């Protein structure tokens, strides 16, 4: 009896150990299988014709060069559109002495949506256009259409504003459309508008958690890399947005490739204490921007409604995922 009892006890113990081990392995396997994956949220539909038309409208005004009638008309139109979409608008107006001694009348346009929300993010783009086609071989001293370099970023923001007004997100959204970004000759003389804004943000105590700047986001072959200052100041935001793009099937545009530091409006947003990334078209092979950059080819023929839709959806997904 004793021997049999010991044997039975040993056998039962062995069975228990096997059972516990099996359960433990099953639980571990279950946890691996049920580990939270990246889940996209449902966002309102982006109308690619709408966002494309926002670029077209800007181009129709003509080159939005400071001190021109086209510049004034376009600014008035953008303010009206933001107001139509229930954004509270504020303008920073003044005169900036440019590098060439010219006095430039500027208008930074700030729009604020969902002011009852404490958590906020900032979207920005410049809206003025280059007064010269300095990368072209003809008509070098004439202004460019600026369909991509200015028009595309503004168009994405206006389409986002339209959509936010249809379905409110859980967070607040601020936008700023920077003026006199593209009048420069050297690094210090570009981005006048964001330099002015960084010293007077007009955001009160409701400061955005982070920012996304949009520049040249409409090319058919757009490529967005890990811009240098974005890595330095806002790496976690870069990772978040590029990961979102990948899961949405837009990895062909958003490549995790380290890039150089670019003095763009996001640099001065970072200087104002708001971590900000730059979604900007860069070609790592040529070491330059879009092929149409600062040329007369920066027109509607080189704007893709598909690219604009992709960028708009990625930014919207980022907004609606925030809690």
Residue 116 scores a pLDDT above 50: yes
pLDDT-based confidence at residue 255 (cuts at 50, 70, 90): very high
Q: Which residue has the higher pLDDT, 1 or 304?
A: 304
pLDDT-based confidence at residue 278 (cuts at 50, 70, 90): very high
pLDDT tens digits for range 23-44:
445 554 555 455 557 899 999 9
- Alpha-helical runs (H) found in the chain: 2-33, 48-61, 69-84, 153-164, 192-198, 228-247, 265-271, 305-321
Selection from 294, 303, 301 nearest residue 142 by Cα: 294
Residue 20 scores a pLDDT above 70: no
Residues 97 and 10 in one domain: no
The rounded mean pLDDT for the chain is: 91
Residues 12 and 83 in one domain: no
Residues 55 and 31 in one domain: no
Mean pLDDT across the stretch 229-257?
A: 98
pLDDT at res. 30 = 52
Mean pLDDT across the stretch 152-163?
A: 98
pLDDT at res. 36 = 55
Residue 22 scores a pLDDT above 70: no
* Domain that residue 74 falls in: 48-321
pLDDT at res. 17 = 41
Domain count, the chain: 2
Q: In the numeric block, which tokens belong to residue 135? A: 């990368």
Q: Which residue has the higher pLDDT, 280 or 6?
A: 280
Residues 139 and 214 in one domain: yes
pLDDT tens digits for range 171-180:
999 999 999 9
3 state SS of 126: strand
Residues 156 and 270 in one domain: yes
3 state SS of 30: helix
148, part of any domain:
yes
pLDDT at res. 2 = 36
Residue 158 scores a pLDDT above 80: yes
The owner of tokens 């690619």 is: 48
Residue 7 scores a pLDDT above 50: no
Contact 246, 254 (CB under 8 A): yes
239, part of any domain:
yes
42, part of any domain:
no
CATH of the domain at 144: 3.40.630.10
Contact 253, 222 (CB under 8 A): yes
Between helix 69-84 and helix 153-164 the angle, nearest 10°, is: 20
Share of the chain above pLDDT 70, in %: 89
pLDDT tens digits for range 88-102:
999 999 999 999 999
Residues 65 and 150 in one domain: yes
In whole angstroms, what is the distance from residue 299 CA to residue 311 CA? 19
156, part of any domain:
yes
pLDDT at res. 187 = 82
Mean pLDDT across the stretch 250-265?
A: 97
Residues 18 and 83 in one domain: no
pLDDT tens digits for range 46-92:
999 999 999 999 999 999 999 999 999 999 999 999 999 999 999 99
pLDDT-based confidence at residue 315 (cuts at 50, 70, 90): very high
Residue 6 scores a pLDDT above 50: no
Is the C-alpha dihedral spanning 44, 172, 116, 51 positive or negative? Answer: negative
- Computed on alpha carbons and rounded to an integer, the radius of gyration of the chain in Å comes to 25
Q: Is the pTM of this model over 0.95?
A: no
Mean pLDDT across the stretch 145-154?
A: 98
Residue 18 scores a pLDDT above 50: no
């Amino acid at each position: 009896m004793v021997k049999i009892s010991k044997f039975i006890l040993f056998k039962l113990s062995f069975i228990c150990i096997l059972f516990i081990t099996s359960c433990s392995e099953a639980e571990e396997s279950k946890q691996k299988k049920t580990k939270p994956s990246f889940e996209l949220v449902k966002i309102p539909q982006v109308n690619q014709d709408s966002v494309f038309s926002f670029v077209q409208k800007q181009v129709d005004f003509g080159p939005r060069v400071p001190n021109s009638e086209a510049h004034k008309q376009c600014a008035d139109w953008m303010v009206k559109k933001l107001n139509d979409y229930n954004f509270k608008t504020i303008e920073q107006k003044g005169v900036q002495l440019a590098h060439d001694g010219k006095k430039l009348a500027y208008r930074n346009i700030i729009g604020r949506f969902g002011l009852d929300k404490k958590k906020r993010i900032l979207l920005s783009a410049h809206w003025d256009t280059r007064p010269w086609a300095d990368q072209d071989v003809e008509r070098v001293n004439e202004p460019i259409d600026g369909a991509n370099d200015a028009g595309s970023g503004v168009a994405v923001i206006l389409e986002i504003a339209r959509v936010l007004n249809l379905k409110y997100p859980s967070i607040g959204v601020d936008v700023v459309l920077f003026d006199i970004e593209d009048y420069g000759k050297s690094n210090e003389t570009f981005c006048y508008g964001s330099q002015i804004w960084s010293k007077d943000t007009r955001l009160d105590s409701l400061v955005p958690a982070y920012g996304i700047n949009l520049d040249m986001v409409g090319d058919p072959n757009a490529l967005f890399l890990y811009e240098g200052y974005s890595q330095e100041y806002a790496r976690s935001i870069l990772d978040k947005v590029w990961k979102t793009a990948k899961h949405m099937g837009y990895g062909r545009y958003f490549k995790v490739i380290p890039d150089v530091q670019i003095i763009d409006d996001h640099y001065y947003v970072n200087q104002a204490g708001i971590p900000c990334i730059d979604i900007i078209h860069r070609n790592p092979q040529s070491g330059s921007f879009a092929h149409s950059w600062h040329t007369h080819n920066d027109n509607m023929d080189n704007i893709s409604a598909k690219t604009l839709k992709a960028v708009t959806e990625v930014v919207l997904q980022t907004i609606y995922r925030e809690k």
